[in-house]
Chains A and B, each alone.
Chain A
């Protein structure tokens, strides 16, 4: 028994403490360095932030280049898939187009009426800056859903700015470097934004699920009933986002009365996005 314990200690010591013939440092030293970096990073130590910022600039660009072959395969896959679904898509688009044509006739009137009403309650918000950005890195790991875009503090990107794909809200800026920024997508588990659910404008919080779906939280009141197909908009509460930005629609409601949201935008196919800052006109 004593010998077994000695063998174990010798093997552990040899693995972690002994410096191999081709190694400059022992594992223990490097483990210690990693823990130190983690610890200092947690408390926003300036040196770590500089290291991180420098690494970000180099790594994001390198990743973009190295991902070219994989992106080619990915794009080919989507291209083939779109050809396979062409007929069904065409039928669906034709149906949607007819419906939209009818709706668009009313829209101009409603928009102008809405603007007048909002001016009465001093809630007019407008875009104060809009930056078009290209998605450099789209590595949606199973743990964090985010993308890197090619605009940073140099282009006046600020933390918390809303990010849109066309007219659809897709996330917000959570990290700003000199030439690049990281956008946390709405599908990430750590993303939480106030939303409004039509047609009754019920207020709720939308959180990510780490899948390509969102989930509504804090809405389980007795008198509230959502229906599949109800539209989700940003509510504008908290003053971060403008109210009324379309996000998605309720896709299904499970047995626990949890509502799951299908986003309008496909987060796996983001190419160009808009980074916008909304401010009160006054």
Chain B
């Protein structure tokens, strides 16, 4: 029996995305030590959008909600704000899934841009208006831009993983 057909491997593969989400919110892959001005991207946004769109329920919303709370604690944001943005991304992805008949990476990619622009606007507005926390607008804008660019590359990696996951379930 191939290793990927074993029940335990199947289980591990199926929880892979949520595990990666938790590692990423706890670890914050930031590359800040490279000191690239304005360079940052939001890996959880990419992961949540992709797996909500393609993962057929492999991302549990409650776990996404808790990941958001953890992210707020790690970064030091008002608690609940990341959960809200993560769940909004889930909602946008679920909407796209419902209206899509023929999936296309480019369409997904641009819908992702629209999604992160909306969620980042929520994020910025809540922090600035509701909590009086100053946020550098340009940092946020570049963060959105890099997150958008990186989605394209990560979608190939996740696509490969998804195929592997589907093969083990067959």
Contacts and interface: CB of A to CB of B under 8 A. Distances in A.
A115 interface: no
Interface string B88-103: 1011101101110000
Nearest to B82: A34
A182 B69 contact: no
Interface string A138-173: 011111101000000000000000000000000000
Given A34-B87, A42-B130, A143 B95 contact: no
Given A56-B73, A59-B73, A212-B35, A66 B78 contact: no
Contacts of B73: 52, 55-56, 59-60
A66 B71 CA distance: 14
Given A38-B130, A211-B37, A15 B94 contact: yes
A31 B30 contact: no
Contacts of A189: 134-136
Contacts of B83: 30, 33-34, 37
B44 to A, nearest CB: 12
B90 A27 contact: yes
Interface in B110-151: 126-127, 130-131, 133-136, 139-140, 142-143
A84 interface: no
Contacts of A219: none
A27 B94 contact: yes
A63 B74 contact: yes
Interface string A19-51: 011111111001101111110011000001001
B23 interface: yes
Contact of A31 (B29, B74, B87): B87
A55 B82 CA distance: 15
A34 to B, nearest CB: 4
A38 B126 CA distance: 9
User: Residue among B32, B99, B142 with the most chain A CB within 10 A?
Assistant: B32
B81 interface: yes
A12 interface: yes
A30 B87 contact: yes
B27 A140 contact: no
A245 to B, nearest CB: 24
Contacts of B160: none
Contacts of B91: 15-16, 27, 31
Given A11-B95, A35-B84, A52 B79 contact: yes
Contacts of A35: 80, 84
Interface in A115-155: 137, 139-144, 146
Contact of B98 (A15, A59, A70): A15
A141 B39 CA distance: 11
B155 interface: no
A59 B74 contact: yes
A16 B127 CA distance: 24
A268 interface: yes
A14 interface: yes
A51 to B, nearest CB: 7
B13 interface: no
A7 interface: yes
B162 to A, nearest CB: 16
A142 B136 contact: yes
B77 interface: yes
Contacts of B61: 20, 23-27, 30
B75 A144 contact: yes
B26 A62 contact: yes
30 contacts: A7-B99, A12-B95, A14-B98, A15-B91, A15-B92, A16-B94, A16-B95, A22-B58, A23-B57, A23-B62, A30-B83, A30-B87, A35-B84, A38-B84, A55-B70, A55-B73, A67-B27, A77-B34, A139-B74, A141-B28, A142-B136, A142-B142, A144-B76, A175-B76, A189-B135, A189-B136, A190-B133, A210-B136, A268-B32, A268-B35
